[in-house]
Each structure stands twice: as structure tokens, then as C-alpha cells.
Structure 1
Amino acid sequence: MSSTTDHGNYQQRVAQVREHLELSQDKMARQLGLSLRAYANYERGERAIPVELLRSLYEQFAVDPVWLLTGDGNMIFDRDVRYRLDQKTLDNVLMAVERIEQRLPVPLDAKKKARLVGLLYEQCQLLGDSADDILKDSRIGRLTRTFR
């Protein structure tokens, strides 16, 4: 979508996103993990839009939260901007994966290794933690057991 100067209701922009994606209210609600009633209340302006909904719209559909709230800019982010790699984080994740592989009886095949790199990188980006901090998390221990 192109730039707009419409500073109207942000609830109307939630409906615009759904229409742009050609989804019914029910399907949009399910994709966002909401009940139909809760989602419809957001579109009608009967409920304030929580940060979690902004995050879900961004993560699942690349909707610009600033556009959603103000009407300024573009509805959908350029995917290149959203997925630009942070080289330092990627390097740390790769070193962490090497340490994980050293604990395994057999090295990971390329597909599993790529999947693990992707999962760890995403966690670093979402949580703002370093790869080492994330590896200390007990969930990672469970995750790495699935790669054995």
C-alpha cells in the first residue's frame, strides 16, 4: 500500500489490513489467535488494540505498527527491511550452534543445523538477548534434544 495521510481511527485500519489480505473476520481472528468476537470488537473500536495485536500483525503480516496507529507511511513493510540480518547476532548464533554440536554424539545434518540457526537467531531478535543468554535458557536444552 502507498503512503497515506489519513489519521482516522486506527480500528478502521485493522479492517483495512484484513481486507487487503482478503481474509474474513473469522479467518483473521484465527490467524491472530483471537476469538471472532474479540477481533470484531477491535475492528468496531469497542476494545483498545493491545500491543500484542500490533506485534502479531507485524510478525505475521509485516504490518507497520506506526501506519496502523497513525496512518503515516505504508501498510506493509518491505520484507527486505524486516529481514535484514544483524551480522554480529548471526556470528554469535553460529558460534553457539557449534558449541551445541560439540555436545551431540553426531554432527547435525545441514537441514537441522539451518533450522537451529534460524530458531536461535529469531529468539535473539525477538527477545533482544545474546545467543549465550538464550542458550542458558532451559527451553533451549529441550530444543536441542529434539535435534539428537
Structure 2
Amino acid sequence: MADRPYDYLSSLGARLAIARNELGMSQKKMADALGISLRAYQSYELGKRSIPVERLVELHRIFSVDLNWVLLGVDAVRLKHDLFALEEFEVALDKYLSDNGISLKSEKRGAIAARWYRSFLEGKGVIMDDVHTWIELLKE
């Protein structure tokens, strides 16, 4: 039997309350931060109403709350990512390829970026000389 909507809303409300408590905020302060009335916010935590998407976006934008967890009860992997570092690496990779007249198919370039990024997230820095070696191995 499928979950009834109020069962889902109760679970979502409980996760909202947990997130708010982890931030050390009162219901009033959270409501103010999200631009809603206290009564509306309380109804979300109690599972009586569904929180609007716009308020969820604000919750994430202001407090970096994991919306995957709030909505589904599971952690999102991507929130731990450092997209700025990946972007910097991709710019450096493109510059190196261009400066050296090297052409790589997009899937090979993607494999290099993915391998570098996986190492970065694991805390195993990869020096650019190693990346250059990978490029030499994959050159067409």
C-alpha cells in the first residue's frame, strides 16, 4: 500500500524540525528567515501542509540544508562537491590542451577531469605533471 500524503508530510516535517534544531534556530527565526509566517512554518513541521518549493530553495540557499535529505530522507552526494575547484581544473586543462595543440575526444577529456576530481575529493591531490602524463597516454 502506498504511503498516504500525510505520512510523507509528517516525515518531511520531522526532518525540517531536525534541520532547524541543528541550526540552533527557533521556529520563529526560521519562519522569518524563509519569509513566511510562524503559523505557516509550524504547519510544515507538524506535517499539516506541504512546504512550497520556493521556501525549500531558500532553506538550501541560506543555510545549505541538504534538500535530498529533507525531501527524501537520504543524503545527497553532490552537496559535498567543490564545483569551483572542478571548474578551475577544467579551465587549466583546456588551456594546457590549447597551448600545446592537443586534441582529445570529449570522453577522454571527461575521463581525465573525472579522475582528477575523484582524487581531489578523496584528498589525494594530483599534480599537473601527472595530468600531463594522462594526456600523453590518451592523445590521438
* TM-score, structure 1 as length reference: 0.46
Higher relative contact order structure (alpha carbons within 8 Å, sequence separation ≥ 6): 1
* TM-score, structure 2 as length reference: 0.49
Which structure has the greater CA radius of gyration? 2
Structure having the higher helix fraction is: 2
